[in-house]
Every structure is written in structure tokens, then in C-alpha cells.
Structure 1
Amino acid sequence: MRPSSRCGRSMSPAHRRVRSSPLFPRGGAGTLGAMAKSESAVTSAAATGTVEDLQRDAAEGESRRRRGGWPAVGALAAGTFTVVTSEMLPVGLLTPIGRDLGVSDGTAGLTVTVTGVVAALAAPVLTLLIGRRDRRTVLAALMGTLTVANLLAVYAPNVAVLLVARVLVGLGMGGVWAIASGLAVRLVPERRVAAATSLIFSGVAAASVLGVPAGALVGELGGWRAAFAAMAGVCTVVLVALVVLLPPLPAPGAVRLGGVLGLLRRPPLRTGLVLVALLVAGHFSAYTYVRPVLETVAGARPGQVGTVLLAFGVAGLAGNFLAGAGAARAPRATLLAICAVLTAAVLLVPPMGHAAGVRGAAALVAVWGLAYGGVSVSTQTWLMAAAPDAREAASALFVAVFNAAIALGALIGGLAADGWGTGGVIGLGGGLAAGALLAAALGRSPGRGAAATG
């Protein structure tokens, strides 16, 4: 439709600013009435600056909301801590679980494997199913699912019921991690996004340092069911924190299957997923068997192994924040450094253990932890930069690949341990980390035009 002479006349700069404002109504016949009413307001608004004031006030309100987002970021960090602790809780409780339920340690170990596999599948599926629902509501519902799952584990009469509970943990974990990991950009100013992302992912490292050992301690004092009961209590507290501290987070748009699959056509995102797969699978193929490695090559005693693993966790927490700061400025350089250090640290554990005993091996395991602690936040930062227009879908792919790599790494590590012993485990882990180094060096990194399909 041709513009009327009235709309087509030249306008003053003030009129033009008001008409270009998002507050000025647009549309067809359905909005003509609103346009007519607004015409009389245009002149007065242009004269008094009302519309510009409203725009400035809205921007300032958004800035205040983002500056006040740190409590919400803290709640999300508590959420990642809770889901990872819930996932790994059985690791320190396998023997009493198997003894109480009358199953082998291998069967009891399915309580960890099943959760990881379900989380890998749940992350992309739940992201598609939740549509445009408010993310605060979704996170609260998923944390409620984790609470129910841990309570079900408390009263599980047999391993079948316990595995059902662990399936629910996988559902909650996959959903929480996929959604929470991409929310930093909506909660804090842009210059603080890297720090906020690091804080959210610090929950993962803190779960290794504090959550899993604390669960094992509670299990020793009150039995494995008491550990799951305590975890249910923690989930309840975090649920309340999410509801109280998170602002409403309506989805900018529903995630579609075609959109998720379309992301795989972007070379920088494909490179990021390859890095996740190689680094995580390499780490878990070796780390799952780090105890027999330390006992074999360095003569470590059981009490010493626990101390070494604590050093690994503390170093990993530091690595998380160091890598978060580095990845925000130079994602490729940060991941190149992580891959190189991780490769060297893993491969040098046996010779250092033989040459310098437990202390030498422990020092390298701590360096290993420092490097691996930065993997989650740096690869997530890479993927967010590769898909700035589809962060939630990219996060879902990240969580799916990450958890699948955990299961795959533990599986192939077991095969290597059975076939080649501890040397084979270390060689496999270091080799996969070296493959990640090549991928980081040769693959397409995020940059200008990363959002475009390639």
C-alpha cells in the first residue's frame, strides 16, 4: 500500500526518531486505530522527549537487572554443583550399594553409566520439548525431578528401582545443564559474561572437590541411603534458590529440531564438539583408572590416592576460572594450551611416578587437573561464540556430546586396561588429548561470521 501524503511528508528529526522507536505502533489495518491515536502524541513526544526518556529508562532498567544478576548466577552454579554431585554420588558408594542390594560392584556401577547415557539423550530432547516456556519454571521443575529421584533412591528396595531413580537423575541433569550453561549472557552485562560462565561451571569442579567426597563421608557415617537423603535435601534448597533468585526468563524463541541439526553445518561449532568429545573421552578413559595407575607406577597407598585426587580437584577449580578468563579473549589459544598441557601431563605420569615416586606423580596429576578443569568452560565459550543466535541449542549439543564422551571414555578405558594394562590406559588418554590438540590447531575457530552456516 502506498503511503498517504500525510505519512509521506518529510518529517523533522524529532518525528523521525519517534517513528523509528520500537514504542511506535506498526502494522496493517489492525493497527490503524492505534496509529491514528498516536499521531497526536508524536508532536508532543518529539517536543518533550517522552519517547526517548522511556527508551533510556528501559535501557537503564535492563542494565540494573543485569547488574543484579549475580545472585541468579550463584543459584545456577549451585544447580550445576547439585546435578553433577547427584550424577557422581554412587561412585563412592558402589560397594555398600552392591552389598545391601545383593548385586556385584559392576552391576551397581550401572547407576553411574545409566545416568550419563540418559543425560546425553535428555539434553537435546528436553530442549526441543520445553518450547517457549519460562526457563526459571523449567529449571525449578527439573530440580524438583532431581529431588524426587534422590528420595526414590533412599527407599529403593532393589537395584531395578534404584536404576529408575537414576534415570530420573539423568533427565534432570541433562535439562538443567543444557539450560543453565547458556544463561549467563542474559543475567549480567556483556563484559562480565565470561566470569559468570566460569562461576556457573565452577559448580562442576566443586562437585568433584566437595560434593562427591562429602557424599562418600555421609555414606560411611550413616549408610548409602543417608547420602541420597542428604542429596535430596540439597536439591530442595537449590530449587528454592532458583525460584527466588532467578528473574523471569521467557525463551527468546522455541528451539526446533531443524535448528539444532542446522548448527552442525557450522564449521566452528563442529570443531568445538570434536574438541569436547576428544578431551572428555580422553580424560575419562585415563582418570577412571587413575587409582591403579598411581598404585602401579608410583607405589601409592590408598590414603595417598585420596590426597592426590583432592589435589586434582582443587587444581581443577582453579583451572576453571583461569580458562574462563582466557577463553573470553582468545578461545583457540586457550584450548591449544589446555590440550598441550593435558597431553603432556597424562603421558608423563608413569615415567614421573617411576622416577620420583608418589610426589612426582601427584604433581603431574595436579597439573592434569588444572588443565582439565578448564575444559568445560572453554569449550562452552567456544560453542557460544560459534552459535550466538542459538545458544540454548548449542548448549544442548554440548551436554549431549559431553555425557556421551564420559560413557565412551570409561568404556574404552576399561577395554584398554584389560588388554594393555595401566600403560595402555595412559597411552589412550594422552593420545585422545593429542588428537584434540590437532583439532584445536587445524579446525575453524569462532570469529566473524561464526553465526552463519558454513
Structure 2
Amino acid sequence: MSSSVSHPDPVLSRWVAVGVLTLSTFLVVTAEMLPVGMLTPMADGLGISAGATGLSLTVTGLVSAVTAPVVPRLLGDLDRRRVLAAAVAVLAIGNGLTAIAVDFGLLMIARIVLGVGMGAVWGMASAVAIRLVAARDSALAVSFTVGGVAAASVLGVPLGTFVGNAFGWRAAFWSLAVCASLLAPALLLALPELRRPAVVEETGTGQRRSLFRPAVVTGLAVVVLLVTAHFAAYTYVRPVLEELPRMPAGAIASLLLVYGFFGLIGNFVAGAAAGRRPRATVLLLAAGIAVALGLLALFGASALIAGVAIALWGMAYGGLSVGGQLWMTALAPDRVEHVTGLYVGVFTGSIALGAFAGGLVVEGAGVVLLLWSTAALAVVSLLVGSVGRPIAA
């Protein structure tokens, strides 16, 4: 007699797990980047300057830069599912502390806690996603997982900005704390048990290759330059839009939504392209960021051109996370967990560097020079990538 009990589709359950991972990257990047949309009210509420508030991104990025490459080396045979859930719980604590911050000191403590959770989640998510699906679907799984980064711009930061404008910036961070508290148990339910990768990460000679091979170093150099350029400008996009086209808060929130929408498109377009030619894809994205920043510097006083530049910027940067991730994986397929952690560490460290450098330029020379200098840095990243070794093009 046949059983009438139906069993869940294992393929479907694995893609559901990828979806929960996507929510995790969405949440960590929303939490990291929300001060961009809330920069002015946060500064006013804490009684500090916009540049000092922007340092909250620097601190988060620095802590995440240390956490992301270290975590894979410390995991051993720990269940990756439980580590991810614990990291999201830490994220909830960091958002709650941000919501109750009353001065610069407590804000920095909150963002340090946030950086620990962010580094662990972002550093592991893509490597875990690859293990959840068939090899032929790995690029798509990474695109979806990293798509949470772009979706954070499409929905997370704009919605957080709208909530902050309506109910105060503290309410926006409380909302993130609640969402993280719900997501932690969801990870435990959706993901299978994942221990140390079964495949020994060694070369054919039985000796492990160093991650710091020439092609990887070139790729990381491109990432450092390009992410630094992007975040030096993007951290202060609200002051840019307030000063050049003189946009009100509501219009800025809407334009950030446009930025994020095009970023989501860029994520999947770049993911498809980078699955075949990751290096060329990243260099094309670098050119797009340079052009967008140049347009803002030249014609940013026009609301229409500013909108076009923001859309182009969103599409170009939206593809960078997945493009860079697939590039690094192609350069070190024998060390996927470790190269992913290293990549995310470099990426988030560059976020910190960019936010810090952008604050110095904004307070010392203004937003126009900031845009020109970051456009030039994006061009340098393009040149470095063009003259480097064309491995995994």
C-alpha cells in the first residue's frame, strides 16, 4: 500500500534556504547603510556633525573587515547554519543599541557590535549558498544571495529612510532589530546542517596554494580602489543632493529608491555576465561608476541629470558585489570559503576607508571636489584591472 504522505521537494527547500540567506544579506546591508539616508537627522539628534555620523559606517566597515576573513578560519567543523543564526542575533543587538544611542560614544559601540554580525553573515553567505545548489546553479545562487545587497538599496534604505522621516530615525533602527530577531530562527529552520566543506582545498600536488596569488591580488586591488571611491561619495549622497540640485528629504528618499531599483537590475545582469567573464564585467562596472560620478560633478545642479547619474551609479555599483564575488571564486576555486571571507573583509574595509576619506573631503573641500576625486579613483581602479594579469577574464 503506497503512502499518501508527501515529502518536501529537496530542490525547492534548498532554494528556500538561498532565499533566507538573501534576506540575511539584505538585512545586514540595510543596517550598515541606513545612516546614509538618515545622516542629517541622526547628526541633529545626537548633536554631532554629519562627518562624525558618517564615521559610523567607517567603524562598522573596519570591524566587518576583520571579522569576515577571520570567521572562516575559526569555524572548524561548526555548523554554518548555527553560526549564521548567531551572527544575525548579534545584528539585532547592534541595531537595538543604535536605536538607543544618545551620543557619539554609544553610537560607535553599537556600530562595532553591528560590524561583528555583518562581517560573519556577509563573509559566509555566498560560500554557503554555493553548497546549497547544484554546481550548474552556483552563479545564480550567488546572484540571489548577493542580490540582498542590491535589494537593501531598493527597499531597505529607502523604506528605512521613509520610516525615519515619518517616525524618527530611532524607529527605523528598532524595526531592523525586530526583523533580525525574527530572521535568526528562520535560518535555523530553513538551512540544512552544514559542517566543514567535504572537499579538501588542495592542489593536485597535495599542497595548499596561497590565497595571495598574483591574479587574486590584482582583483583585490581593483575592489579596494573601486569600493573606496564608491563609498566616499555614496556615504554623503544626501548632502550632495541637498546642495547641488537642492532636493528636499522626500525627493532624496525617492531618488535612493531609483538608485536601488537600478542596482537590483545591475546585480542580476552582472551576475549573468560575470558567470562567463567576471574580470571584464567588473571593469565595465568601474567605468560606469566613474561616468556617473563625473556626471554628478559636472551637471549635478540639474535634478534631471542628477537622477540619470544616480540611476547609472546604482546599476553599476549594484553589479559589483556579485561580479567581484564570482571573480574571486573563479580565481581561487580551491579555497572558496577563505577567498570569500578575504574578499568580504577587503570589501568592507574599503567601505570604512571610503566613508572616512569622504568625510575628510566633504568637511575640508565640499561635495563637488568629493565627486571629482572619487570619479578619478574609479578610473584608477579601471586602469589597475586593465593592466593586471588577465586570468579569469
TM over 0.5: yes
Please state if 1:246 is matched with 2:197. no
Q: Which residue of 2 aligns with 1:271?
A: 218
Q: Match for 1:75 among 20, 35, 55?
A: 20
Q: CA deviation at 1:339?
A: 1.9
Q: Match for 1:350 among 284, 290, 297?
A: 297
Q: Which residue of 2 aligns with 1:89?
A: 34
- Structure 1 residues 286, 153: closer, same or farther in 2, change over 3 A? closer
- Structure 1 residues 93, 368: closer, same or farther in 2, change over 3 A? closer
Please state if 1:286 is matched with 2:230. no
Secondary structure in structure 2 of the residue aligned to 1:262: coil
- Structure 1 residues 281, 304: closer, same or farther in 2, change over 3 A? same
Residue pair 1:332, 1:441 contacting (<8 A) in 2 also: no
* Residues 357-368 of structure 1: pairs in structure 2 closer than 5 A: 357-368=302-313
TM-score by length of 2: 0.87
Q: CA deviation at 1:295?
A: 4.9
Q: Match for 1:206 among 131, 151, 157?
A: 151
Q: CA deviation at 1:343?
A: 1.8
Q: Which residue of 2 aligns with 1:188?
A: 133
Residue pair 2:55, 2:355 contacting (<8 A) in 1 also: no
Question: Aligned partners of 1:238 and 1:358: how far apart in 2?
Answer: 38
Q: Which residue of 2 aligns with 1:375?
A: 320
Question: Aligned partners of 2:342 and 2:373: how far apart in 1?
Answer: 25
- Structure 1 residues 436, 167: closer, same or farther in 2, change over 3 A? same
Q: CA deviation at 1:302?
A: 4.5
Deviates more, 1:71-80 or 1:176-185: 176-185
Q: CA deviation at 1:121?
A: 1.2
Question: Aligned partners of 2:102 and 2:253: how far apart in 1?
Answer: 31
Q: Match for 1:310 among 257, 264, 271?
A: 257
Question: Aligned partners of 2:13 and 2:122: how far apart in 1?
Answer: 22
Q: CA deviation at 1:98?
A: 5.0
Question: Aligned partners of 2:237 and 2:165: how far apart in 1?
Answer: 22
Q: Which residue of 2 aligns with 1:262?
A: 210
CA displacement, residues 235-288 of structure 1 (integer Å, 9 cap, x when unaligned): 122112211111111112799xxx999311x12211221121111111122223
Unpaired runs of 5+ residues, structure 2, are 1-8, 202-206
- Structure 1 residues 283, 111: closer, same or farther in 2, change over 3 A? closer
Residue pair 2:65, 2:347 contacting (<8 A) in 1 also: yes
Residue pair 1:279, 1:375 contacting (<8 A) in 2 also: no
Q: Output the amino acid matched with 1:286.
A: A
Deviates more, 1:418-427 or 1:318-327: 418-427
Question: Aligned partners of 1:174 and 1:268: how far apart in 2?
Answer: 24
Q: CA deviation at 1:102?
A: 5.2
Secondary structure in structure 1 of the residue aligned to 2:78: coil
Secondary structure in structure 2 of the residue aligned to 1:182: helix
Question: Aligned partners of 2:133 and 2:225: how far apart in 1?
Answer: 31
Question: Aligned partners of 1:409 and 1:155: how far apart in 2?
Answer: 26
Q: CA deviation at 1:109?
A: 4.0
Q: Output the amino acid matched with 1:334.
A: T
Q: Which residue of 2 aligns with 1:421?
A: 366
Question: Aligned partners of 1:320 and 1:199: how far apart in 2?
Answer: 9
Question: Aligned partners of 2:133 and 2:69: how far apart in 1?
Answer: 25
Q: Which residue of 2 aligns with 1:34?
A: none
Question: Aligned partners of 2:313 and 2:268: how far apart in 1?
Answer: 15
Q: Which residue of 2 aligns with 1:28?
A: none
Residue pair 1:327, 1:382 contacting (<8 A) in 2 also: yes
Question: Aligned partners of 1:196 and 1:66: how far apart in 2?
Answer: 12
Q: Which has the larger radius of gyration?
A: 1
Please state if 1:320 is matched with 2:270. no
Question: Aligned partners of 1:149 and 1:407: how far apart in 2?
Answer: 17
The alignment-based identity, stated in percent, is 46
Structure with the bigger RCO (C-alpha within 8 Å, sep 6+) is 2
Q: Which residue of 2 aligns with 1:338?
A: 285
Q: Output the amino acid matched with 2:275.
A: A
CA displacement, residues 118-172 of structure 1 (integer Å, 9 cap, x when unaligned): 1111112222222221111111111121223333444556553443232111101
- Structure 1 residues 400, 106: closer, same or farther in 2, change over 3 A? same
Question: What CA RMSD, in Å, does the superposition of the two structures yield over aligned residues?
Answer: 2.8
Residue pair 1:92, 1:213 contacting (<8 A) in 2 also: yes
Residue pair 1:350, 1:361 contacting (<8 A) in 2 also: no
- Structure 1 residues 131, 271: closer, same or farther in 2, change over 3 A? same
- Structure 1 residues 309, 267: closer, same or farther in 2, change over 3 A? same
Q: CA deviation at 1:421?
A: 3.4
Q: CA deviation at 1:299?
A: 5.0
Q: Which residue of 1 aligns with 2:91?
A: 146
